[in-house]
Amino acid sequence: TCWCYSSFTQTMSKHTDAAAEVLLERKGCAGVITLNRPKFLNALNLSMIQQIYPQLKKWEQDPETFLIIMKGAGEKAFCAGGDIRVISENTKTNPKMVQDFFREEYMLNNAIDSCLKPYIALIHGITMGGGVGLSVHGQFRVATEKSLFAMPETAIGLFPDVGGGYFLPRLQGKLGYFLALTGFRLKGRDVYTAGIATHFVDSEKLGMLEDDLLALNSPSKENIADVLETYHTKSKIDQDKSFILEEHMDKINSWFSANTVEEIIENLQQDGSSFALEQLKVINKMSPTSLKITLRQLMEGSSKTLPEVLTMEYRLSQACIGGHDFHEGVRAVLIDKDQNPKWKPANLKEVTDEDLNNHFNSLGSNDLKF
């Protein structure tokens, strides 16, 4: 859904062994899922989703499996997002694969949220877009000083999906609206402070933490939480550092309380501080259609359940892949890398209410159902 932090080579998923792209292992008391495409920053593709989902469901029912751990191979990334270049390439040639990708990815996001076993995502390294979907809905999310979080979809003509419409408006104040519209990156302990992660652990202790979790004997949820809490309490990196957005939160809450993107932009212009103007510059580069869809997605999502949000987001995903901006964004950011997308419509006032409403329309029998 969301694109990978670095650009991909042409070979992508064509020459890799599908079975090795994700490792599913029973270890100690746990089921361990390892996203295993470190060269591609563990970007998520359809075959990985189709391996993870049934295994998650099996472990959820297995009396010998007491917890599920989700992690990424290598040191750089947990998961930098969905493999969206492949999605863009296949929109015309293999539309069914593209529909299946979003449908099955969102089903997996929901399965993580409703998982009956404690689910622990070790979000060490880059965690963006689809990677956020594999972690944020789980019961426990462990960040490290190397964590790098973002929902950068408005820059490629998409929207912060994978349940972004659910978790983003539920962050403190209007923080989620700010993160969604600007794609602002949070690093290290800030990922915990923002509420994306539930715990923070120094990365050099991550291996020990995993070993301690695997060694638990028929643990309860409380036993698992105790181990995480112990490691969290002992972590010293950036312990006394204040949240990067702390000094701006009052302003963010005020600016992003507006009901339209135009009003948010006006608020930033009127403020005129260097931080406000910096955000204005960023927002002005984004797809106007994406900005409008995203604001409405979060406003509506703030009072919906996660399945309702994912049903709404599936409608949005299908509208976006059928439109212009998504493919143009992928071209500008991932293929030609000129970073100069030509959005259509090119400005906010040309994105009509009718355009906007069409993105949210029911797909009838093609709707995502839970």
Q: What is the set of active-site residues?
A: 82, 130, 153, 161
Q: Report phi then psi at 201, rounded to 5.
A: -135, 140
CA angle, residues 178, 184, 188, in degrees to nearest 5: 120
Dist CA 327 CA 309 (whole Å): 24
Task: Please say whether the beta carbons of 229 and 199 come within 8 A.
Answer: yes
Q: How many CA atoms lie within 13 A of 32 on its CB side?
A: 18
Task: Please say whether the beta carbons of 2 and 158 come within 8 A.
Answer: yes
CB count within 10 Å of CB 301 equals 25
Amino acid at 255: W
Task: Please say whether the beta carbons of 301 and 157 come within 8 A.
Answer: no
Question: In angstroms, what CA-CA distances link 16 with 25, 40, 79, 98, 342?
Answer: 20, 11, 17, 19, 33
Task: Please say whether the beta carbons of 161 and 108 come within 8 A.
Answer: no
Question: And the tokens for 265?
Answer: 């932009």
Please name which of 263, 316, 355 lies closest in space to residue 153, comparing C-alpha atoms: 316
Dist CA 286 CA 257 (whole Å): 19
Rg of the chain over CA atoms, in angstroms? Answer: 20
CB count within 10 Å of CB 19 equals 11
Per-residue DSSP letter, 334: I
